Structure 1
Amino acid sequence: MKVYAFISIFLWCLPAWAQRQPEADVQVETGEKNLTLDQPFIVTIIVKNHANRPTVTFPDLEGLEKRSASATSTTNSVGGKIVIIQTISQQYFALREGKYTLPEFSVIVDGTKFKSEGVTLTFKKGKEEQKTSELDIEETESTVNSEEPAAEDVFLQAKASRASVYLKEGFSLRLALYVAKNTPIEMEFYQLNSQLQPILKRLRPATCWEENIGIDEIIQKEVIIRGRRYTEYQMYQAMLFPFTVQNVSFPAVSLKMLVTDASVTGKLKDKGIQTFSSKPSRVVVKPLPPHPQKDQIAVGEYTLKEQLTKENLASGESLRYLFTIAGRGNLATITAPEVPLVKAFDFYPPDMNQTVQRSYERVSGEKTFDYFIVAKQKGTYPLGRFFQWIYFNPSTARYDTLRSSKTITVAGEDMQSASILDANARLVYENVEQLDTTESYVDYQDMIRTLTNSVVLILLGIMGWILRK
């Protein structure tokens, strides 16, 4: 029976083993060690061979304050093969100068710990660092939250960065709890994981594309609100891009906290559960101005970078042309420029390379389309006739066009209008009538199939023999 069990397990696992994917490659890197107080110590996770964005938890480092984080994903597509490298970085700031000796620490990636060696950091005085940030809770053109009472000690807020946006224009959403520094209470999070998931489910709009860093932890920092010092516990922040002309509504959400009255004298202090609720808000989504292609046009602030391997060539020669769109916006929705069919060139479908940088307040990066071009007719050709990309700039409220400024000069005799691919296809079928069809044909797939069936029959025979015994 042991042999039978072994054979069964082997046969069951064989297909999965043969088709298994390479394991994710994770590296932990640390930044500069000699810094000024206005410079961060950076811990970076580099993840390769991971299709989905990993969930990362960075450690708390003694003596350092954890602040902003960022995530960058690089996607390279060459010949149909896609390689993704994801980089997630966390910044740590020192509050005072001196030496900081950090022991070995771990970063958690998708539930697995990855260790980094201990380091010694030196922080010196530099230009004056702004240790607190100003938040404006009042209703303005750039905020949508109602005014919070200045005397309120604790409040929960779900705040959008914009009151109105154009269709497909991005805005950030932040969920945070604010606790005044001088309030005479002590607070603890109460069953945060079970509370947070339903809260985020209500806040995440179904009509928006979401981009977030993927850091699964609470970011704590000091802020000043109308002259009063608060501790901000940031629980969620993401960039949202509405893809329908429908206002984005954020309902009121509630969070339960364990609250202890620290003003009570004596050993026994009352501890109870208190609920804090945010106020509902919304972001107005404006339609794009009329345009024949407005449903396909990207929205953002972009510039063009381009590169040619050669500007002068002979008819029949090839070159590579890189058309790079760089800037702020939802790069995932950017598509390649439509290139017309012309007799002067053969334009082949491009390979795509993409780098997206995500932070708590913006999504930026660049997307490169790598074209292979074959020249067929002599002449001088401005590439702006073939490579144009239209987008909508929300800052100017106008459509704009990124147009190539490169020029190609082709010398020599004109090639035939048939494309290189057609010529190659003719070569494949050339002299096909002269092939000897009497030669025997070896079907290797049929041989492998027969061999596999034979092995299965032998194994079944062994199993039957074992069962009879």
Structure 2
Amino acid sequence: MKLYALLNIFLCFSSISLAQSSENLVTIEYGSKNLTLDQPFLISVVLRDVETRPSVIFPEIKDLEKRSKSATSSVNTVDGRKVVIQTITQEYYAKKAGNYLIPEFTLAVNNLKLRSDETMVVFAKAGDESGNALEENVAVTEVEDNSQSVFLSVQTDKKEVYIRQGFAVRISLYIAENAPVEMEFYRFNEQLQSILKAVRPVNCWEENIGVEEIIKRKVTIRGRKYAEYNMYQARLFPITTEDIVLPSVKLDMLVTESGGAVNVEKKLVRGFYSRPVTVVVRQLPDHPLRDQVAVGQYSLKERLSSDLVYPGESVRYMFKVEGVGNITAIPAPVIQASSSFDIYPPEVSQVIKRSYQSVVGERTFNYFVVPRKDGEFPLSRYFHWIYFDVEKQNYDTLTSAATLEVRGDDYKLANLSLSGSSGLYDNLENLDSSRETIDYKKILKDLTNILIVLLLVTMIWVFRK
């Protein structure tokens, strides 16, 4: 009888614990498993309700080469609660067509061990077989000829940008395939911190993907094959008009040299220096809002929950800005005040994907709009968003194309205003703001914790009895 009671308490306790832990789920997800040679196989780690992006080292897979990594963060508000989802994705490329077995593996994420079962991935021949998916042609300005077998490079994808326009920075060591030397990294972590301290400009916003390991990839530079060891990559957004100067940095490597005698080798430390890089930062053309507007390439998506309402009936309006640029810094649209509407402050959510190539994403502003009078109202009169288009090199405006139709008598909120005003914000100073809202999720969580404690106490009591 005692054993039966203990078993029931244990099962109840386990089910409650699993219900609580399911809210903070961490999973491994695969991308498409039927690919062509020019497409990557994707392995992702998805973390829910985690603010800080963790360090993740993905497995080495036989016959597949690791390539770029990307990080996506999604921030939304659901029932007044902030929901964050982090996704970290690693790319793998195949050298030739065929079936590839992905063996089971384990990843360590935030002190958790995640296990993934084995699976099969199929790579088919691409339409264009002229190139090799494992080799990339890389434009590195440091190499003016092919005399350098080993060199350190700090490179950017742009030499001139506008203020708040993003550019990529990459730090890599290149070693030619036929280089007559053998070398290994020497006190690397200590050196990398010094290099990043010297290279990272203080007047830039940084979107860093995170490089937790040095990944070797095959590249071709001016017709010569190299192995690239990437140590750092990020996108920077200058916040002032000062030019960005990335100074020359040094990386020490442990080089093995053969001596004059047979089978005699000597190891020595040899330094490799990068060339300094300057990125010119340009001010935006004259405009009343040039110090406030976003810079990049953007488009608008919008949606009305209903395009026909009655005066006093609320409607939800979504104004979503998506594109390429510093998504985090996208400001809210400019709203034209009107006596025809009450427009509440928006709920803001965003999705950002960070990679070496770009920072892309979306920032969504959800408004509650309450019309006061009947009529037909083009929302272009009330919502617009100005930005600087880096491709067109001029200012552009995203304007609403939606129209809201309001039918019925004018809406009067006499019960909210002693003076008879019809504004929803009238008489706010008389409202009691000290009353706290009821957080039912918190209450449920507290009750669950209390129940767990009671079950533990009961289990101990039954066991001792």
CA distance in 1, matches of 2:398, 2:33: 42
Q: 2:227 aligns with which of 219, 224, 231?
A: 231
Shift of 1:224: 0.9
Is 1:177 equivalent to 2:173 in the alignment?
yes
Change (3 A) 1:161 1:265: farther
CA distance in 2, matches of 1:237, 1:310: 45
In structure 2, the residue matched to 1:94 is: 94
Shift of 1:385: 0.6
| One-letter amino acid matched to 1:368 | T
Is 1:251 equivalent to 2:254 in the alignment?
no
Equivalent positions of 1:71-220 (< 5 A) are: 71-78=71-78, 80-110=80-110, 112-127=112-127, 128=129, 129-131=131-133, 132-138=135-141, 146-220=142-216
Q: 1:398 aligns with which of 380, 388, 394?
A: 394
In structure 2, the residue matched to 1:463 is: none
CA distance in 2, matches of 1:22, 1:205: 41
| One-letter amino acid matched to 2:388 | F
Most deviating of 269-278 and 34-43: 34-43
TM-score (norm 1): 0.81
CA distance in 1, matches of 2:50, 2:93: 30
CA distance in 2, matches of 1:125, 1:119: 20
| One-letter amino acid matched to 2:68 | S
Contact 1:35 1:41 in 2 (8 A): yes
Is 1:314 equivalent to 2:317 in the alignment?
no
Gaps of 5+ in 2: 1-20, 413-420, 434-465
In structure 1, the residue matched to 2:463 is: none
Is 1:333 equivalent to 2:329 in the alignment?
yes
In structure 2, the residue matched to 1:286 is: 282
Regions of 4+ moved over 6 Å: 262-265, 423-429
Change (3 A) 1:427 1:49: closer
CA distance in 1, matches of 2:202, 2:166: 15
CA distance in 1, matches of 2:186, 2:137: 28
Contact 2:49 2:85 in 1 (8 A): yes
TM-score (norm 2): 0.81
Is 1:376 equivalent to 2:372 in the alignment?
yes
Shift of 1:104: 2.1
Contact 2:210 2:232 in 1 (8 A): no
CA distance in 1, matches of 2:186, 2:432: 71
CA distance in 1, matches of 2:369, 2:23: 37
Change (3 A) 1:258 1:376: same
Provide, for residues 341-371 of structure 1, a one-character-per-residue CA deviation record: whole Å limited to 9, x for no partner. Answer: 3111110111112111111110011111011
CA distance in 1, matches of 2:324, 2:56: 24
Most deviating of 171-180 and 340-349: 340-349
Contact 1:186 1:262 in 2 (8 A): no
In structure 1, the residue matched to 2:63 is: 63
In structure 2, the residue matched to 1:419 is: 423
Contact 1:22 1:49 in 2 (8 A): no
Shift of 1:427: 9.1
| One-letter amino acid matched to 2:216 | Q
Most deviating of 376-385 and 119-128: 119-128
Please provide the CA RMSD for this pair.
Answer: 2.5
CA distance in 2, matches of 1:113, 1:198: 32
CA distance in 1, matches of 2:331, 2:352: 15
CA distance in 1, matches of 2:39, 2:73: 24
Gaps of 5+ in 1: 1-20, 139-145, 430-469
Query: What is the DSSP-based 3-state SS (H/G/I as helix, E as strand, rest coil) of the residue aligned with 2:386?
Result: strand
- Give the count of matched residue pairs: 403
Provide, for residues 207-231 of structure 1, a one-character-per-residue CA deviation record: whole Å limited to 9, x for no partner. Answer: 0000022241112211111111111
Provide, for residues 94-147 of structure 1, a one-character-per-residue CA deviation record: whole Å limited to 9, x for no partner. Answer: 112333333322334356543222223333323325432222234xxxxxxx55
Shift of 1:266: 4.4
| One-letter amino acid matched to 2:99 | K
